[in-house]
């Protein structure tokens, strides 16, 4: 396994100074910048689109880890690729043709990720492991920040880690939702090598970001 990567979610940033916030988490040691895109349809919240993401693309060279909580998703893949996404992750549950969506992302020259919600079993990934670069396990129901980690997802993380090892491919295993320092440790022990965190990174303001990220690394 690779060393754990920390991907702060800018959903928890101060939107009035988003560029400054992205610079601050970059300087504080973030490995990736996690972009949570929500449409008010697939999930009960609305965040932002490719124009906002593009506006902060120039303030950091860190990879943009783009999590699309939107349905239908295919029509928007080109726009997020053009706005500067490095990895585009789409939900298994968001449409009938996940394989086609992943093919589209790969065709755009981007890393392709698949997300599964808490109620979706790991076996749904069986016929996707040959083409994904990242699997994202939601450890809360998507749509809002600040939720509590769902403990049953640890077993799913372990199951997916075993699937990755059997595939023989270099696939990142990311966890998103309610990840604080204690849950981060348990996620890594279960097999995760990338962690999304919003509230636990941005808590306390910029002077605390480096310590918050360090705590997640354990």
Q: pLDDT tens digits, residue range 57-106?
A: 999 999 999 999 999 999 999 999 999 999 999 999 999 999 999 999 99
If we measure between CA atoms, which residue out of 207, 199, 195 comes closest to residue 3?
Answer: 195
Beta-bridged to residue 38, according to DSSP, are 69
Quick check: pTM over 0.85? yes
Give the pLDDT confidence score for residue 130 in this predicted structure. 96
Per DSSP (E only), the strands in the chain are 5-8, 33-38, 64-69, 87-91, 111-116, 134-138, 172-176, 194-197
Tell me which residues of the chain have a pLDDT lower than 50.
Answer: none
Give the pLDDT confidence score for residue 145 in this predicted structure. 77
Other CB atoms within 10 A of residue 145 CB: 17
Q: Do 133 and 154 form a contact (C-beta atoms < 8 A)? A: no
- Residue 168 sits at φ, ψ, to 5 deg, of 75, 10
Give the pLDDT confidence score for residue 186 in this predicted structure. 98
Q: Which residues are catalytic?
A: 36, 176
Give the pLDDT confidence score for residue 1 in this predicted structure. 66
């Amino acid at each position: 396994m690779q060393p754990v990567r920390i991907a702060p979610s800018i959903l928890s940033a101060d939107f009035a100074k988003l560029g400054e916030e992205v610079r601050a988490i970059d300087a504080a040691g973030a490995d990736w910048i996690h972009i949570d895109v929500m449409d008010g349809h697939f999930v009960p919240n609305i965040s932002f689109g490719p124009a906002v993401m593009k506006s902060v693309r120039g303030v950091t060279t860190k990879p943009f880890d783009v999590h699309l909580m939107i349905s239908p998703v295919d029509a928007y893949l080109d726009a997020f690729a053009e706005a500067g996404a490095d990895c585009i992750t789409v939900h298994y549950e968001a449409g009938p043709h996940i394989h086609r969506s992943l093919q589209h992302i790969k065709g755009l020259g981007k890393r392709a990720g698949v997300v599964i919600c808490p109620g979706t079993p790991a076996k749904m990934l069986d016929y996707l492991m040959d083409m994904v670069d990242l699997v994202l396990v939601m450890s809360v129901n998507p749509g809002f920040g600040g939720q509590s980690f769902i403990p049953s997802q640890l077993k799913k993380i372990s199951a997916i880690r075993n699937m990755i090892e059997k595939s023989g491919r270099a696939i990142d295993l990311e966890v998103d939702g309610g990840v604080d320092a204690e849950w981060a440790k348990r996620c890594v022990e279960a097999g995760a090598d990338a962690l999304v965190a919003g509230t636990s990174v941005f808590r306390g303001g910029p002077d605390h970001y480096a310590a918050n990220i360090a705590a997640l690394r354990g």
